[in-house]
Amino acid sequence: MTVTYLKKATSTSKSGHEDVRDRVEAMLNTIAEGGDDAAVDYNLKLDGWDGQTFVTPEQLAEATAKVPEQLKKDIQFAHANIKRFAEAQKASTADFQTEVIPGLIAGQKQIPVTAAGCYVPGGRYAHIASAIMTVTTAKVAGVTHIAACSPPKKGEGIHPAILYAMDLCGADRILNMGGVQGVAAMANGLFGLPKADILVGPGNQYVAEAKRILYGQVGIDMFAGPTDSMVIADSDADPKIVAWDLVGQAEHGYNSPVWLVTDTQALADKVMAEVPNAIDDLPDLNRDNAAAAWRDYAEVILCETREEMAAMANQYAPEHLTVLCRDLDWYLAELNAYGSLFLGEETTVAFGDKASGTNHVLPTSGAARYTGGLSVHKFMKTVTWQRSTRAAAKPVAEATARISRLEGMEGHARTADIRLAKFFPDETFDLSPD
């Protein structure tokens, strides 16, 4: 494979991880020991919040009144699309039973978890869409109790539009609490909440690390790092669209990698010339993030063929993958490692991030090699069951006894022996593995 890096990343996004882990672990231990009071203390210390822990119906009504009508309609539109897609996901997996051998019936059931905790970022940006993505999907899955939390601003509380979205999508309780303390409150069942079976939703490095440490005590959607995005583009692609699709994702943070993979040198040159202009056109904070991400983490990769471009994408396994090329069906068939795929210039990552229906909680840092993003299935357990006639149990018990003894697990073998002796008292069985 002939690949040329026209621009190479100079940094990785892993620096400082040990310090973050130590600080988060200490906070989680303090909250586990101190309970409600410790979480409240952190909420006051870190976010300056001294108000009520839970959002009241009156506060929800006040928040709803503050949300412009057009924004409400947009949130409702996004919610309907995400709900519709989640319902289709749920319908794609069903309970079933099958007769493995005559008389032995085995089955599968889909059982939603009892309690979910949904984290919605609200610091640097008001992540309205994250509320829709997490709460809606849990609701469609059939989760019994959905708690949601987001960082409150001092003297104000959670952003009104986030509150409106949480309520619209079906959150049962909403905590005025963000960061590690919000995650810990849901995981530990503080303030009278049921302990979360699973924690979902994006967040900063502290939230991500809290979820990582708590994994095992609770389930999580995935281990998350900085958001990343790749664009595959050929000579037909519009350089300005390519540039903005890269910049639009780079604004997430200073360490958000973006990659362009192309087979056309002229397109690469135009995009690299256009990106700085696009970055300069952003507001201050967004501009600073995008400029740093482009400078330190972005790559532009020149390939010779579309097969090489697809292979490069499969190697990187990006969180978001946009294809701006001819023959989109070919790429749909060949690409196999991505969080979410966007085919053609008529769609873009931001559509999936906000309103088109697919979920924006996606695997980062190459995790798309082995997992997909948040879906109804993350909130559901695929469990199995079996039932047998005595006649069908006979050959299964014989094989089980012999395999168990060969493994040295005599207790397992005896559970098979005792059934054979009870069900078939007049028969003799050779249950030795030799």
Q: What pLDDT was estimated at residue 14? A: 57
pLDDT band with cut points at 50, 70 and 90 for residue 433: confident
Contact 133, 170 (CB under 8 A): no
Q: What is the DSSP code string of 209-276?
A: HHHHHHBTTBEES----S--EEEEE-TTS-HHHHHHHHHHHHTT-TT--EEEEES-HHHHHHHHHHHH
Domains and CATH numbers, the chain: 17-221+377-381 (3.40.50.1980), 226-372 (3.40.50.1980), 390-434 (no CATH)
Mean of pLDDT values over 7-17:
75
Which regions of 270-348 does DSSP assign to beta strands (E)? 299-303, 320-324, 340-343
Q: What share of the chain is helix, strand, coil (3-state, %, to 5)?
A: 50, 20, 30
- Could you give the percent of the chain with pLDDT greater than 90? 94
- Could you give the percent of the chain with pLDDT greater than 70? 98
Closest CA to 17 of 208, 266, 162: 208
Structure tokens at 320: 């978001």
pLDDT tens-digit map of 331-379: 999 999 999 999 999 999 999 999 999 999 999 999 999 999 999 999 9
Please give the Cα distance from 397 to 384 (Å, whole number): 19
Please give the Cα distance from 137 to 116 (Å, whole number): 11
Q: What pLDDT was estimated at residue 1? A: 65
Q: What pLDDT was estimated at residue 416? A: 98
For residue 231, is pLDDT > 60?
A: yes
Task: Round the average pLDDT of the chain to a whole number and report it.
Answer: 96
Structure tokens at 417: 């022996």
Quickly tell me which residue has 């073998």 as its tokens: 413
Contact 262, 50 (CB under 8 A): no
Q: What pLDDT was estimated at residue 16? A: 52
For residue 403, is pLDDT > 70?
A: yes
Contact 224, 12 (CB under 8 A): no
Q: What pLDDT was estimated at residue 247? A: 98
pLDDT tens-digit map of 170-227: 999 999 999 999 999 999 999 999 999 999 999 999 999 999 999 999 999 998 889 9
pLDDT band with cut points at 50, 70 and 90 for residue 122: confident
For residue 13, is pLDDT > 70?
A: no
Cα–Cα separations (whole angstroms), residue 183 to 121, 201, 209, 278: 11, 10, 10, 36
DSSP structural state of residue 358: S
Structure tokens at 426: 């007049």
Does 319 participate in catalysis according to the annotation? yes
Mean of pLDDT values over 290-310:
98
User: How many Cβ atoms sit within 10 Å of the Cβ of residue 145?
Assistant: 17
Closest CA to 294 of 279, 283, 277, 284: 279
Q: What pLDDT was estimated at residue 11? A: 82
Q: What pLDDT was estimated at residue 140? A: 98
Q: What pLDDT was estimated at residue 291? A: 97
Q: In the β-sheet with 96-101, what is the strand arrangement from edge to edge?
A: 96-101, 104-112, 380-388
Mean of pLDDT values over 99-121:
98
Chain centroid to CA 332? 22
Structure tokens at 2: 């002939």
Mean of pLDDT values over 225-242:
97
Please give the Cα distance from 156 to 306 (Å, whole number): 52
DSSP structural state of residue 260: E
Q: What pLDDT was estimated at residue 18? A: 76
Please give the Cα distance from 340 to 175 (Å, whole number): 30
Cα–Cα separations (whole angstroms), residue 312 to 7, 257, 293, 324: 15, 15, 20, 15
pLDDT tens-digit map of 135-185: 999 999 999 999 999 999 999 999 999 999 999 999 999 999 999 999 999
pLDDT band with cut points at 50, 70 and 90 for residue 2: confident
Catalytic residue among 308, 320, 345, 412: 320
Does 320 participate in catalysis according to the annotation? yes
Which one-letter amino acid corresponds to residue 158? I
pLDDT band with cut points at 50, 70 and 90 for residue 281: very high
Q: For 15-19, 89-93, 171-175, which range has the lowest pLDDT when averaged over its residues?
A: 15-19
Rg, the chain, Cα only: 26
3-state SS class at 195 = coil
Catalytic residue among 159, 274, 319, 360: 319
Please give the Cα distance from 256 to 22 (Å, whole number): 23
